[in-house]
């Protein structure tokens, strides 16, 4: 469904933020992308949603295709119409607008107003239904994140891009967001989930990629990634024990890229 081959992105003249990135995401799945600060996660999302130019970034090499068609040079609005919705870092909502006005603003980018979609979103997020007439500034951080996700869903995307939806949220809310992401996938929307919270992301994902310095350093099934020592030590705060044995058990699932 989504494929990047050798994608290379630069901001200005510095080192590339994506440096020959190879990554795929399958229809109907949750794909996790984890990695430390500056690894290129947000740049990946911007590349897919057509907003690189807003940040003075450029795709300077490689191929990016969604459903068999290139995304290179396609404007953000056209990408939304093709079925990709991007929820950026920092849960940006229009704080002066009400919850419902925020949702309606999300629909304006694709198929016009969709009352049916609003009610589906209220079913998914009862807390938004209760607060539909309140201004978004009054919502908690977790509720604002739910509103940002709900607004993205208003365009009825095929693929939802979520950039660190759990950042700064309490563990209980993190778990709720994880459940919501699974629900979204079950309702038929594929999800590309960028997270520094690798434990949560790899617990709900089907497959995952570890990014470092703009490249994929490790990729495979989420289960195989969870079991590797590297991921355990870097992101999950523990040791997987016998790495070789675990790799055997997931024989062929895990692929290593040379860094
Ligand atoms: N607008 C920009 N102009 C110049 N350089 C940028 C810009 N945005 C990101 N970069 C650089 O690109 C690289 C990748 O950054 P990016 O924001 O994609 O990483 P990230 O994995 O999302 O990090 P974080 O976990 O901190 O959000 C970093 O070296 C960063 O400094
Ligand atoms: Mg980021």
- Give residue-wise pLDDT tens across range 32-83: 999 989 999 999 999 999 999 999 999 999 999 999 999 999 999 999 999 9
CB 6 within 8 A of CB 22: yes
Residue from 4, 7, 10, 11 to probe ligand 1 pocket by mutation (most atoms less than 8 Å from CB): 11
Structure tokens that stand for 185 in this block: 């996938």
Closest ligand to Cα 211: 1
Q: What is the pLDDT of residue 258?
A: 41
- CA–CA separation, 86 and 153 (whole Å): 9
Helix axes of 171-186 and 141-153: crossing angle, nearest 10 degrees? 10
Please state, as a whole number, how many other Cβ atoms lie within 10 Å of the Cβ of residue 88.
17
Q: What is the pLDDT of residue 47?
A: 98
pLDDT confidence bin for 238, thresholds 50/70/90: low
Q: What is the pLDDT of residue 149?
A: 96
- CA–CA separation, 255 and 45 (whole Å): 22
Q: Tell how far the Cα of 1 is from the centroid of ligand 1, in angstroms.
A: 25
Question: Which residue is closest in CA terms to ligand 1's atom 30?
Answer: 38
Structure tokens that stand for 77 in this block: 């609005």
pTM of the model: 0.90
Q: What is the pLDDT of residue 117?
A: 87
Q: Tell how far the Cα of 245 is from the centroid of ligand 1, in angstroms.
A: 36
Closest ligand to Cα 9: 1
Closest ligand to Cα 88: 2
CB-based burial, 187-197: b 16+ in 10 Å, e otherwise: eebbbbbbbbb
**Residue 233 or 207, more confident:** 207
pLDDT at 109 over 80: no
Q: What is the pLDDT of residue 105?
A: 87
Question: Which residue is closest in CA terms to ligand 1's atom 24?
Answer: 37
E-only strand ranges, the chain: 2-11, 18-25, 30-34, 57-66, 69-70, 84-87, 159-163, 190-195, 207-212, 215-221, 255-256
Atom nearest to 36 CA in ligand 1: 25
pLDDT at 99 over 60: yes
pLDDT at 245 over 60: no
Question: Which residue is closest in CA terms to ligand 1's atom 7?
Answer: 11
Q: Tell how far the Cα of 226 is from the centroid of ligand 2, in angstroms.
A: 21
pLDDT at 95 over 70: yes
pLDDT at 246 over 50: no
Helix axes of 99-107 and 115-124: crossing angle, nearest 10 degrees? 130
Q: 217: Cβ–Cβ under 8 A, 6 or more apart, which residues? A: 210, 211, 256, 257, 259
State the average pLDDT over residues 105-123: 76
Q: Tell how far the Cα of 100 is from the centroid of ligand 1, in angstroms.
A: 32
State the average pLDDT over residues 244-259: 41
- CA–CA separation, 207 and 184 (whole Å): 16
Round the average pLDDT of the chain to a whole number and report it: 88
Residue 84: which of 128, 117, 43, 51 has the closest Cα? Answer: 51
Structure tokens that stand for 175 in this block: 């778990």
Residue from 9, 12, 17, 53 to probe ligand 1 pocket by mutation (most atoms less than 8 Å from CB): 17
- CA–CA separation, 36 and 215 (whole Å): 12
Q: What is the pLDDT of residue 259?
A: 36
Q: pLDDT tens-digit profile of 151-191?
A: 999 999 999 999 999 999 999 999 999 999 999 999 999 99
- Tell whether ligand 1 has an atom less than 6 A from the beta carbon of residue 40: yes
């Amino acid at each position: 469904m989504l494929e990047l081959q050798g994608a290379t992105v630069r901001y200005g003249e510095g080192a590339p933020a994506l440096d020959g990135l190879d990554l795929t995401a399958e229809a109907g799945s949750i794909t996790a992308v984890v990695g430390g600060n500056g690894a290129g996660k947000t740049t990946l999302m911007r590349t897919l949603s057509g907003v690189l130019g807003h940040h003075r970034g450029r795709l300077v090499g490689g191929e990016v295709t969604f459903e068999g068609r290139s995304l290179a040079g396609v404007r953000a609005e056209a990408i939304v119409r093709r079925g990709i919705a991007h929820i950026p870092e920092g849960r940006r909502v229009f704080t002066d607008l009400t919850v419902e006005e925020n949702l309606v603003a999300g629909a304006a980018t694709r198929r016009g107003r969709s009352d049916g979609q609003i009610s589906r979103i209220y079913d998914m997020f009862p807390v938004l239904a209760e607060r539909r007439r309140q201004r978004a500034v009054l919502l908690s951080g977790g509720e604002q994140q739910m509103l940002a996700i709900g607004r993205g869903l208003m365009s009825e995307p095929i693929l939802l891009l979520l950039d660190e939806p759990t950042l700064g949220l309490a563990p209980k809310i993190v778990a709720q967001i994880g459940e919501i992401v699974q629900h979204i996938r079950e309702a038929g929307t594929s999800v590309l989930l960028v997270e520094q919270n690798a434990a949560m992301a790899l617990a709900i994902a089907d497959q995952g990629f570890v990014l470092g310095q703009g490249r994929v350093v490790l990729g495979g099934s989420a289960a195989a990634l969870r079991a590797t020592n590297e991921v355990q030590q870097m992101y999950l705060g523990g040791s997987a024990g016998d790495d070789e044995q675990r790799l055997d058990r997931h024989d062929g699932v895990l692929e290593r890229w040379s860094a």
